[in-house]
Chains A and B, each alone.
Chain A
Amino acid sequence: MSLFAPLFARADVPVGVPELARALDPVRTLAEHEGHFGLHQRAPDGTHFLARDRLGVHKLFFSVVGSEVHSANYLIELLRAGHACADVWSVPPGHLLRLQPAERRQELVSFAPLTFGTEESAEKGALAWHAERLRAALRRTFRLLARHCAGRPVYVTLSGGIDSSLVTLLAREYLPEVVAVTFALRAPRESGPGADLFCARRVARALGVPHLEVRCEPDEVLELLDEVLVYGQDARDFNVHCGLVNAALARALGARHARGPRPVVLSGDTLNELLADYAAVPYRGREYFRLPDLSRGRVRRFLVGGLDVGDREVGLFARHGLETLQPYALCARELAALPAELACAPGAKARLVAALVGTRLPDFVLARPKVRAQVAVEGEPGGTLALLVERGIDQEELTRRFARLCGLERAELAGLVRAGHYRHSPGFPPAPGARRRYPQPTGTLLRAAEGAGARGVPGEQPA
């Protein structure tokens, strides 16, 4: 069974999901493909193959009960099915997990290790060389997207920053029709568009792309909080704040496409992790989104590894029937290979993008100072960080609420996520302990969202 495999490709040709049980070498088969996927297939001999894409864009949880392996893309689905949290495991990103429950055997193999570029000084001419490799990877990716998205509505989430502007540019060049979409939170006293919306309008106009603005009242956004926690699968504030933006966009786009072909959303996510382009954000005397006290080149590996946890895009858009694709994640090898000096030094991203597309992207995009798109800009009409802070919803409250919604104790939650990784088992998962049914998750929005656009279902089917 393919739980969720919207894009699976060999070179630049979309292909069906490979049957791992029939492959001579399943690890090599997976290594030869690119895509976003969380797969679970069962071979006739009872072996289970579970695999997850290189960066862990898609989530994949499972629980072993006797000879059965139950899996789902959403943790909540296994919990609702009665699996104890302690019996739920995750497949690490870029790994193939082979389970033979009858023999209580497990084999976990990495099929897509990422190699990060050196922290030494880059050689002369390295930027041009890496830009050419990355240009080829993006070309391959967008040709693939063009085939994959044919006949379907395509949106690009556009914040007006470099990452999403580049995706918008390439989408316009490779896809026949694309609409840019931007979230904006209405301020209590409307004082004109915020910088993000203003920039997004400028970018869309400059690139000649139709632009849809999704403007929300603060209370409309707060209504989405429970959904963001449960289906964004993380309580950490930086993911929740972004998740609120995506959930608002997902709700609006889902409503526009209640019928017809399934829409696709392209996003600029994961580039910030691959280039370590993050910084802590001060707001009202406090610092949010603190990063480990390491060099940018060093922290890159941890930021990318941390993509394991959180489903702030794919999980939330999928709840509203939308497929999300992250072009940069499909070029992860080339981006990770960039030497730290070319990836993470101040101004490196703008130089890289300029080397990639020259003047096809307006100058003002490359010159714009880095901001956390839509979530936190000091002095702006408001972002989702400001909204939650003003309403007293801090990290402690998010964690407490997430645990309650999932029917978990805090300690169980702490054992499920560590250092940006979901729990995985180094050996065959221990036999389920005394299983108990957790209380059903609560929250009005959660109930309203049930059954809408589910990504995967617990259970298994023959491959």
Chain B
Amino acid sequence: MNQEDVVTRLEIFVRARFRVAPEDRRFSRRTNLWEDGYLDSIGVVELIAYLEESCRIELPDEVLFEPDFSSLDGMARIVCALARSRALPPDGLSA
């Protein structure tokens, strides 16, 4: 699974789902989505469901409090690590 693909898809999802304006300069792939108010408790559930469905993985609750699970880059790292550990084929990312 390609980390760049994952983070690209994640960014598209988050921008669309949480209505992040294209001109929002605070928002980037390294932004802390929690601290900067892009994610709330409902939004993160939708995000997890999206990741699980599109990447065919199951995210355990434990990842919620991992420091990496704060930014798009970090989330993509977690997803790819999980997918690798479960030996998914390289095309494991579905549309």
Contact A426 B49 (CB under 8 A): no
Chain A's nearest CB lies how many Å from the CB of B32? 10
Please give, as numbers and ranges, the residues of chain A lying within 8 Å of B44 by CB-CB distance.
418-419
Contact A424 B42 (CB under 8 A): no
Contact among A92, A236, A411, A426 with B41 in the assembled complex (CB-CB below 8 Å): A236
A362 proximal to B (CB < 8 A): no
Contact B49 A294 (CB under 8 A): yes
Cα A423 to Cα B34 in complex, Å, equals: 14
B45 proximal to A (CB < 8 A): yes
Chain A interface residue count: which class? 20 to 34
Residue interface bits B33-49, CB-to-A below 8 A is 1, else 0: 01100000110111011
Name the interface residues of A389-427: CB closer than 8 Å to any CB of B. Answer: 411, 414-415, 417-421, 423-426
Chain B's nearest CB lies how many Å from the CB of A34? 22
Name the interface residues of A360-402: CB closer than 8 Å to any CB of B. Answer: none
Cα A369 to Cα B48 in complex, Å, equals: 31
Contact A292 B64 (CB under 8 A): no
Chain B interface residue count: which class? 10 to 19
Please give, as numbers and ranges, the residues of chain A lying within 8 Å of B41 by CB-CB distance.
236, 306, 417-420
Please give, as numbers and ranges, the residues of chain A lying within 8 Å of B49 by CB-CB distance.
292, 294, 298, 302
Contact A294 B65 (CB under 8 A): no
Closest to A291 in B: B42
Name the interface residues of A275-319: CB closer than 8 Å to any CB of B. Answer: 290-294, 298-299, 302, 305-306
Cα A426 to Cα B67 in complex, Å, equals: 11
Interface residues in chain B, defined as those with a beta carbon under 8 Å from any beta carbon in chain A: 34-35, 41-42, 44-46, 48-49, 61-62, 64-66
Contact B46 A293 (CB under 8 A): yes
Give me 13 other A-B pairs in contact (C-beta within 8 A), A305-B61, A419-B44 excluded.
A92-B61, A290-B42, A292-B46, A294-B49, A299-B45, A302-B49, A306-B41, A415-B34, A418-B64, A421-B61, A421-B65, A424-B65, A426-B66
Specify the main secondary structure of chain B where it touches its partner: helix
4 shortest interchain CB distances as A-B pairs: A292-B45, A419-B44, A418-B64, A302-B45
Select the residue from B49, B62, B65 with max chain A CB neighbours within 10 A.
B65
Please give, as numbers and ranges, the residues of chain B lying within 8 Å of A298 by CB-CB distance.
49
Contact B42 A421 (CB under 8 A): no
Please give, as numbers and ranges, the residues of chain B lying within 8 Å of A306 by CB-CB distance.
41
Contact B46 A294 (CB under 8 A): yes
Contact A292 B65 (CB under 8 A): no
Contact A418 B34 (CB under 8 A): yes
Chain A's nearest CB lies how many Å from the CB of B50? 9
Please give, as numbers and ranges, the residues of chain A lying within 8 Å of B62 by CB-CB distance.
424, 426
Q: Contacts A421-B64, A426-B65; is A294 near B34 (CB within 8 Å)?
A: no
Please give, as numbers and ranges, the residues of chain A lying within 8 Å of B48 by CB-CB distance.
302, 419
Chain B's nearest CB lies how many Å from the CB of A394? 14
